[in-house]
Structure 1
Amino acid sequence: MSDTGLIVRIAAKGDGVTADGRHMPLSAPGDRIAEDGALIHGPEHVEPPCRHFPECGGCQLQHVGDDAYARYVSDRVAGALAGQGVAAGTVLPAHVSPPETRRRASLRAMRMGKHVVLGFAEEGSHRIVDMEMCCILHPRLFVLVAPLRGLLGSMIAERSAAHVRMSLTDQGVDLLLEGVTAEGLAAREALTEFARAHGLARLTLDDGYGPQACWEPEPVTVSFGGVAVAFPPYAFLQATADGEAVLADAVRPAVEGVAAFADLFCGLGTFALTLGAGKAVYAAEAGRDLVLALKASAGRSGRKLAADHRDLFRRPLSPDELNRFGAIILDPPRAGAREQAAQLARSKVPVIGYISCNPGSFARDAVTLIEGGYRLESVKPVGQFRWSTHVELAGIFRR
């Protein structure tokens, strides 16, 4: 008789699932549900490293051991593909980012009397968990949490919320404060002194009228493939440097030996620049500020790169446009690339490298490409958001 109380896998939202389909929060594979409903821990159930778990919404799976978590990352990808009837030639081993490597974060802040509460929101709630430690943030980001409480005390109205958005750039931490007010000379001087004292790359304030830089000793950049690109405040950046490198390496075979490729949904040029040395690259992106930054940087570096401001949801590249390239790289948002995938399926492009932050929309688009004559050669599961249920991947399709 099978052990129906045994936790055999982790569901997409993080609950453990028994052999007979019951869900149990905060359980790990190998745990058992006793007859009285108690959870008996198994060998893959570990002590969470952070005192804020599980209240803090930054992590959902700190109670799961490293091997079990890596399997979860792989299973999320394999399950999404299986759900659409898609078979991959090779599912490569999952990559999981180490602790304390997250280089981009959005925290919430609220003033409660004389104290500022600052941290991630509780899972499924607006309540902010006041952050005293963090096992995912890069130390250069976390070190600012305590000083920010002091800075924000006079800039947030009682029981009003603000956002603290941080990114690690070439010059250091880029800090964007939203929903705060800094009226008068003393408040502005406090911002400048804070930025100077903590060595910020830039401090930007958005009080509801758009971002305004209060401190930027030199232009803030992020670099891809050795090319520095101007970085708009809290622009998109892959969550970890190691995750970015793994995603790029996973699709690198798609552009090997090709003279020209297109990078669609290119952002600031993460993959266009990393993979594009010595090649002609067409890069398309709907965000105007991102395109302008990429275009300027490509020009200064001498790269053969044409950056195009183009909404690929409303105006995807047609088969005739796509057929000019030896390969296509695309990295769409969570919704996927339904419209562009339909055009790719009708094209003659030999190979496609598809980076995705949503296994579900990737699998849906994979069906479209396979029906158009492609095969899914390989997929690489990636867990940049360690201990969370957010899973990414990179796949290669060939005709």
Structure 2
Amino acid sequence: MIVTIERLGHLGHGIARDQDLRPIYVPGTLPGEVVEGTPDGDKLIDAKITTPSTDRVKPPCRHARACGGCQLQHASDAFVAGWKQEVVQNALAGQGLTADFLPLVTSPARSRRRATLSARRTKSGVLIGFHGRASDTIAEIPDCQLLHPGILAAFPGLQALVMAGGSRTTELSLQVTLTRGGPDVMVTGGKPLDASLRLDLARLVETHAFSRLTWDGETVALRDRPALTMGAATVVPPAGAFLQATQEGEAALLSAVRQALGPQKRIVDLFSGVGTFTLPLAETMEIHAVEGDAAMTKALDLAARNTPNLHRISVETRDLFRRPLEPDELRPFTGAVIDPPRAGAEAQTATLAASTIPVLAAVSCNPVTFARDAKALTAKGYRLDWVQVIDQFRWSTHIELVARFSRP
């Protein structure tokens, strides 16, 4: 079968149509490319590109073909930027909305400071990396162009952890975060802890200069504080806490939030996490931070108390899905930041829409739920002033954005 790719789907697959106009999905292709392959259900396998797109480039990483960590290394940066913005535009159009877009910001290569790796013991040693595309096979990534060099430098220590606490029958998940005290490592799927394993793991943490090791939910070693810098503050997040994937991406998100808010007296930070926005913004304004995870609000509160010269920060642990802040509770604030997970914040958005807050900075990692929530806000009188796409997850289909809403 010979097909022409019409567009990319949300997973980055090329989409063509067969003779009956049914969609055919072809991974690793770009719009305009002519592809020949064997039909297999709604997919085209053994695909060969007979006419490549002018946007096709040589993948910068030698692991691109085997590894599933990146979906778009075969596309030019300009194409990826345009495609990601188009995804957001289409999501908004589906809700009858349009917006002005600020210039897109992309994180550089080799900047991912947080990653979840897969690992397994083998006959010859240890295998660590990302899964191959649509596969349970782990692809080794010694020259990964996505991960920060500090994470790659931690691989010998990670391999030693897997050798000590892994097995050949199960796969381990290794969440690694670079901190000022060294890599913070959270392992799930390892052997049950006993006295001998605890001792071995503690020795490995010292040998390889990890800051903290968490093993299936239990902290087994703390060599140094896994501290992060947020504005002028130092935060020690709980193991596994949400953190922006790159420092450059975090800085771009913060810059856009500052621009959206402008000068404010007192704002509310909804889904505040450990203080990504709260702590830097508190250098110029009072903030009430609300987060559903008690361990994260505790870390944020401690960081706020130990940082001089900040405006007042109050912290509240509250499930904003079940119990959103109501319009009367929102009345004291002159601005709001809202940064929900991928599911969006339908309940909290409804109460924001009914509030009198003059300006909102909305952060999202899902264009579809963002557009849904944007529709709810504009239906109640807010204006969508602009959107900025932040390509923090370079070469992936993941999209983040910041938007400004205001009451005319």
TM-score, normalised to structure 1, is 0.91
Cα distance in 2 for partners of 1:301, 1:342 equals 34
Distance in 1, matches of 2:167 and 2:229, equals: 37
- Aligned counterparts of 1:242 and 1:22: Cα–Cα separation in 2: 37
Provide, for residues 164-209 of structure 1, a one-character-per-residue CA deviation record: whole Å limited to 9, x for no partner.
1100122221112222237666644443343233322222322xxx
The residue that corresponds to 1:356 in the other structure is: 364
Offset, 1:228: 0.7
Matched, 1:311 2:319: yes
Greater alpha carbon shift after TM alignment, 168-177 vs 352-361: 168-177
What is the alpha-carbon distance in structure 2 between the residues aligned to residue 374 and residue 99 of structure 1?
37
Contact 1:254–1:327 under 8 Å retained in 2: no
Number of the residue aligned with 2:112: 102
After superposition, the CA RMSD in angstroms is 2.2
Matching residue of 2:14: 16
Give the aligned partner of residue 128 of structure 1.
138
Are the equivalent residues in 1 in contact too, given 2:57–2:75 (CA < 8 A)?
Answer: yes
Q: Secondary structure at the match of 1:312?
A: coil
- The Cα of 1:340 is off from its aligned counterpart by 0.6
Tell me by how many angstroms 1:33 deviates. Answer: 3.4
Structure 2 residue 168 is matched with structure 1 residue 158: yes
Q: Would the aligned equivalents of 2:164 and 2:201 in 1 still touch at CA under 8 Å?
A: no
Mapping 1:321-336, distance limit 5 Å? 321-336=329-344
Q: Residue in 2 aligned with 1:254?
A: 260
What is the one-letter code of the residue matched to 1:56? C
Paired AA for residue 147 in structure 2: L
Residue 127 of structure 2 is matched in structure 1 by: 117
Q: Does 1:380 align with 2:388?
A: yes
2:164, 2:200 within 8 Å by CA — same for their partners in 1?
A: no
> 1:220-235 maps to which residues of 2 (within 5 A)?
220-235=226-241
Report the CA distance shift for 1:181/1:28 in structure 2 as closer, same or farther (over 3 A): same
Counterpart position of 1:300: 306
Separation (CA, whole Å) in 2 of partners of 1:67 and 1:278: 36
Which region of structure 1 is more displaced relative to structure 2, 228-237 or 265-274? 228-237
Counterpart residue number, 1:237: 243
- 2:34 aligns with 32
**1:226 offset after TM fit, Å?**
1.1
The alpha-carbon distance between structure 1 residues 285 and 276, as it changes in their structure 2 partners (threshold 3 A), is: same
Q: CA deviation at 1:69?
A: 1.2
Distance 1:215 1:45 in 2: 46
- Percentage of identical aligned residues: 38
Match for residue 269 of structure 2 among 240, 263, 268: 263
Asked if structure 2 preserves the Cα contact closer than 8 Å seen for 1:111 and 1:158, the reply is: yes
Mapped partners of 1:394, 1:255: distance in 2: 11
Residue 70 of structure 2 aligns with an amino acid whose one-letter code is C
Give runs of aligned pairs for residues 3-82 of structure 1, distance below 5 A.
Answer: 7=5, 9-17=7-15, 23-33=25-35, 38-39=48-49, 40-82=51-93
Q: Distance in 2 between matches of 1:131 and 1:155?
A: 21
* Closer, same or farther: CA 170–35 of 1 in aligned 2, 3 Å: closer
Shift of 1:259: 0.5
SS in 1 for 2:165: coil
Distance 2:296 2:119 in 1: 28
Q: Does 1:279 align with 2:285?
A: yes
CA deviation string 1:97-149 (max 9, x = no partner): 11110011111112233422211122333332233331111010012224422
SS of structure 2 residue aligned to 1:134: coil
Match of 1:283, SS state, is strand
Q: Which amino acid aligns with 2:74?
A: H
Deviation at residue 327 of structure 1 after TM alignment: 0.3
Shift of 1:41: 1.5
Quick check: 1:16–1:28 contact (8 Å CA) kept in 2?
yes
CA–CA separation in structure 2 for the residues paired with 1:75 and 1:389:
12
2:230 pairs with 1:213: no
List runs of 5+ in structure 1 lacking aligned partners. Answer: none
Does the 8 Å CA contact 1:107/1:164 hold for their aligned counterparts? yes
If the length of structure 2 is used for normalisation, what is the TM-score? Answer: 0.89
Change (3 A) 1:257 1:190: same
Any idea what SS the aligned residue of 1:248 has? helix
User: Would you say how many aligned residue pairs link Structure 1 and Structure 2?
Assistant: 391
Query: Alpha-carbon deviation of 1:364?
Result: 0.3
Contact 2:160 2:204 (8 Å CA) reproduced: no
Q: What are the Cα deviations for residues 316-357 of structure 1, in whole angstroms up to 9, with x where unaligned?
A: 011111121000101000000100111111111101000001
CA distance in 2, matches of 1:204, 1:315: 31
Paired AA for residue 74 in structure 1: Q
SS in 2 for 1:129: strand
CA distance in 2, matches of 1:299, 1:215: 23
Asked whether the equivalents of residues 198 and 220 of structure 2 are also in contact (C-alpha less than 8 Å), the reply is no
Structure 2 residue 149 is matched with structure 1 residue 139:
yes
